[in-house]
Structure 1
Amino acid sequence: MSQNRVVHVLHDNPEWIPAFARAFDAEGVELREWRLGEGSLDLDASPPPGVFWSRLSASAHTRGAEGAKDAARSVLAWLESWGSRVVNGSAVASIEVSKVVQHAHLRRAGFDVPRTIAVFDREQLPMRARELAVPFITKHNQGGKGLGVRRFDSHVEFDAYVAGPEFEAPADGITLLQEYLRAAEPFVTRAEFVGGRFVYAVRVDTTAGAFELCPAEACAVPVAGVEPEPLFRVREDIATDDPLIRRYEALLADLGIEIAGIEFLETEDGRTVTYDINTNTNYSPDVEASAADPAARRVARFLTSLLDDDAGAEGAESVLSASGAR
């Protein structure tokens, strides 16, 4: 049974793995890496034992892993066809790599979402942008890392950008035009969930105006000569029984998402706008160090519990088989 106590993590960025490796080591479980977009796959061979955890990132193509998205689709379909236990499987991968899909799920579930126009044709961008008041922002549909996020204070400025050499073409050809939301205070909030349950909410400072919200240690870039407030810190005023958190948990259950971070913004005109579902969540080392129950350890315990569940099911099947043979 010990050979089954392996969690296979499917990912495209080794820099994001060490914190999780330490958490799994503390639980006495092996975390085995599976790099998306590398190697090969025998479709007629059964997968190795263990639980599989997909950490496909929408920004994989920016780190030389252009094939990660399609590789993930292939590997996850293969695993699911053999009945392997997969956390954040193929349906969730489609959500991770498309803000259009995220927006559709959030809107259908009744969340306040930003007014957004998806444009598939670069030539239509100036015309469709005029449906939004200024200022407005752009985003890439296959986002992450703030890809394609720019603010425009006039339509003329935007026209020049679209026609010029600085235009940033999205990986999937889809540019999002979105209303500009004015925060009541200079921060956004990211609520973290493991096993579909709330862990903690993080206040992400946006004083510098950056759109890079990656909380991982590998993403931390100090600003020269600036000593700001901590970029990431726990929001103690948001707890498990918060009505918004309950709604997020219901949404994740409906979508089959087991590990995720959901980002929202409280605006100066009283709206609470949800704008991102991140199924490739990372955790701030500073927040983790101060948390009573660190999220990485929660992930390790959750996935270990799935190994134990599978082992229990296998044991029950063995007993039934033995009793049926008598």
Structure 2
Amino acid sequence: MTNDQNAPAVYILHENPEWLPALRTGFEAENVPYRELELTTGAIDVGAEPPQGVFWSRLSASSHTRGNDHAKEYARAILRWLEAHGRRVVNGSRVLELEVSKVAQYTALAAVGFDAPKTTAVFGKDALSEQARNFELPFITKHNQGGKGLGVRRFDSYEEFDAYVASDEFEEPIDGITLLQEYIATAEPFITRAEFIGGKLHYAVRVDTSAGSFELCPAEACAVPADGEAEADALPAIDVAGLTVAASDLGGFVAASAACEVPADSGLFRIRPEITAETPLIAKLEKFLAEQGIEVAGIEFFETADGRTVVYDINTNTNYNPDVEATVELAGARKIARVLGEELATLHQPA
């Protein structure tokens, strides 16, 4: 982090310091001056000029699960202020709205021809049981503002769902919107997470879902301790990154923590070298990112048992798995620092 508080720098807007160590290392390795702006406290003079620099938003849809209930609103205020003053913002206010709404993601994806899961957004609880009858069994639920497997459950009967909605176990979404979604089986037990930096593919990762983890955050800070495990048949239905199954169907042990559930050294993440910028799906995704103004993201998709390729999640606060990072020529964290550093140098060249 630069010591000259008046010098232009890259500002990292975030609400979770545990995700920052790898990024700090990347910025320091690239000798890019940076500062951290936490979306948890502070103030802005809306009539004042923002500092000079490049501003990168890493607002997370799951911020409220860490006690940062208003981080989304803080980010909205700061990003609007920055944009009004013409500052260079990476993943700005438009992108923030995609991060915090799966409805926004699915409608944007479907509008340009991607195969996204069939989904109904239900406002409040009153219409849930009625709307569920429009889905074949089994079906799943999710929270619109999600991450961390929030609200993800599988239901094999309408009566089971009715009882859940009426019970104290019902998980109230932070924004009041529950998603009903088709159940989809993957062709093989893995999903793919394609990482994009500067709007271009950096690499694609194969994420093994056979062990049943429902949160596939790749960051080292997301590792689950050994005492965070529980018998599979003691857990509710879980989301294997779009393939939603009952935990009891998985066998063995699955992570029960409500944090990110995949240990950094698990071997569940590895590069898919056959997926490149020339892969048709990647070319289409890069076009989509450009149209949406998304510059840094991890996009998840999977091939289904019936031949579909379903794109189901856009992560604009993407993290990188350390095991994968150790195998690539240029780590994602360092690539981001390099790209943002080049932006900073272009905007603030010495006179």
Indicate if the aligned counterparts of 1:5 and 1:29 stay in contact, CA closer than 8 A.
Answer: no
- Whose radius of gyration is greater, 1 or 2? 1
Quote the offset at 1:130 in angstroms: 1.0
Taking the TM superposition and a 5 Å limit, the aligned residue runs for 1:43-54 are 43-54=46-57
Residue identity in the other structure for 2:100: V
Indicate if the aligned counterparts of 1:4 and 1:307 stay in contact, CA closer than 8 A.
Answer: no
Structure 1 consecutive aligned stretches of length 4 or more whose deviation exceeds 6 Å: 225-229
What is the DSSP-based 3-state SS (H/G/I as helix, E as strand, rest coil) of the residue aligned with 2:285? helix
Taking the TM superposition and a 5 Å limit, the aligned residue runs for 1:81-160 are 81-160=84-163
Quote the offset at 1:255 in angstroms: 0.4
What is the DSSP-based 3-state SS (H/G/I as helix, E as strand, rest coil) of the residue aligned with 1:122? coil
Quote the offset at 1:30 in angstroms: 2.3
Quote the offset at 1:265 in angstroms: 1.3
Residue identity in the other structure for 1:23: G
Quote the offset at 1:209 in angstroms: 2.2
Quote the offset at 1:256 in angstroms: 0.5
Identify which of 22, 26, 29 aligns with 1:23.
Answer: 26
What are the ranges of 5 or more consecutive residues in structure 1 without an aligned counterpart?
316-326
Comparing 172-181 and 235-244, the one that deviates more: 235-244
- Asked if residue 161 in structure 1 is aligned to residue 198 in structure 2, the reply is no
Indicate if the aligned counterparts of 1:9 and 1:54 stay in contact, CA closer than 8 A.
Answer: yes
Quote the offset at 1:37 in angstroms: 2.9
- Asked if residue 185 in structure 1 is aligned to residue 222 in structure 2, the reply is no
| Alpha-carbon distance in structure 2 between the residues aligned to 1:62 and 1:200 | 29
Q: Specify the alignment match of 1:204 in structure 2.
A: 207
What whole-Å deviation, never above 9, does each CA across 1:2-49 have from its counterpart, x for those lacking one?
A: 854411100010000110000000111222110113111111111111
Q: Specify the alignment match of 2:344 in structure 1.
A: 307
| Alpha-carbon distance in structure 2 between the residues aligned to 1:297 and 1:260 | 15
Q: Specify the alignment match of 2:270 in structure 1.
A: 233
Identify which of 276, 290, 312 aligns with 1:253.
Answer: 290
- Asked if residue 271 in structure 1 is aligned to residue 308 in structure 2, the reply is yes
Q: Specify the alignment match of 1:219 in structure 2.
A: 222
What whole-Å deviation, never above 9, does each CA across 1:200-239 have from its counterpart, x for those lacking one?
A: 1111111122221111111122666979962211112211
Comparing 215-224 and 280-289, the one that deviates more: 215-224
- Asked if residue 35 in structure 1 is aligned to residue 38 in structure 2, the reply is yes
Q: How many residues align?
A: 313
- Asked if residue 69 in structure 1 is aligned to residue 72 in structure 2, the reply is yes
Indicate if the aligned counterparts of 1:146 and 1:213 stay in contact, CA closer than 8 A.
Answer: no
Q: Specify the alignment match of 1:319 in structure 2.
A: none
| Alpha-carbon distance in structure 2 between the residues aligned to 1:260 and 1:21 | 18
| Alpha-carbon distance in structure 2 between the residues aligned to 1:204 and 1:137 | 21
What is the DSSP-based 3-state SS (H/G/I as helix, E as strand, rest coil) of the residue aligned with 2:326? helix
TM-score normalized by the length of structure 1: 0.92
What is the DSSP-based 3-state SS (H/G/I as helix, E as strand, rest coil) of the residue aligned with 2:55? strand
- Alpha-carbon distance change, 204 to 222 in structure 1, aligned in 2, over 3 angstroms: farther
Residue identity in the other structure for 1:129: A
Comparing 171-180 and 130-139, the one that deviates more: 130-139
- Alpha-carbon distance change, 155 to 293 in structure 1, aligned in 2, over 3 angstroms: same
Quote the offset at 1:182 in angstroms: 0.2
| Alpha-carbon distance in structure 1 between the residues aligned to 2:124 and 2:58 | 30
More helix by proportion, 1 or 2?
1
